[in-house]
A and B are shown apart, each in its own frame.
Chain A
Amino acid sequence: GAGVSQSPSNKVTEKGKDVELRCDPISGHTALYWYRQSLGQGLEFLIYFQGNSAPDKSGLPSDRFSAERTGGSVSTLTIQRTQQEDSAVYLCASSPPSDTQYFGPGTRLTVL
């Protein structure tokens, strides 16, 4: 079946602009996660959605970052007033009621 998809695959933006990154999880998966990976580093947790519960936003690095998940499916990660240090690969993952997470291909964000 279809895996997790993300769009766009690459995004180049200018400092100060807002960007939106999209994640389509695997159908039926109740949990959705956003992570960020800087060059040559491991993944950094950003935010987690589980069903209709309030999201766990404990990993968001600043109030310029926000995310929503509409209808328990598609999620959008928004970064306002982008900075150069926001440049990274943003990875989305979804999981069924188990501990295995299925990752999308990521969005490579470059802030000039």
Chain B
Amino acid sequence: SQQGEEDPQALSIQEGENATMNCSYKTSINNLQWYRQNSGRGLVHLILIRSNEREKHSGRLRVTLDTSKKSSSLLITASRAADTASYFCATLNSGSARQLTFGSGTQLTVLP
């Protein structure tokens, strides 16, 4: 079953605007990761935030994590048409299991 739920399911913005995607999860986690997927094929790792971190930056990406609310957000600033893709959050749960649990994704469309 999918632990993460992403919100919104789809987002359409103009180039240059910021895009914010949210993710909620249910269990205790070790870390939370965001991935990007183009055209329904391979995923590309974007950023990882550990459970003891609250915010992390990488280029135009900003990720926040609120473990008390079991939620995370991904902000893409100054979006570009090339940012058009599906974005997934994935959690590595606490414990011995090493597989990621993925959300259902947000489809981002950036209009030129």
Contact = CB atoms under 8 A, between A and B. Distances in A.
B2 interface: yes
Contact of B45 (A42, A43, A101, A105): A101
Given A42-B2, A42-B104, A99-B31, A48 B99 contact: yes
A93 B30 CA distance: 19
Contacts of B100: 33, 43, 45, 101
B75 interface: no
A45 B2 CA distance: 10
A contact patch SS: strand
A102 B42 CA distance: 9
Majority secondary structure, B binding face: strand
Interface in B1-21: 2, 4
Nearest to B6: A42
Interface string B65-106: 000000000000000000000001010100001111111110
A56 B99 contact: yes
Contacts of B35: 103
A7 B48 CA distance: 28
- Bin the interface of chain A by size: 20 to 34
B98 A50 contact: yes
B33 interface: yes
Contacts of B44: 103
Contacts of B4: 42
Contacts of B43: 43, 91, 93, 103
A84 to B, nearest CB: 18
Interface in A45-71: 45, 48, 50, 56, 58-59
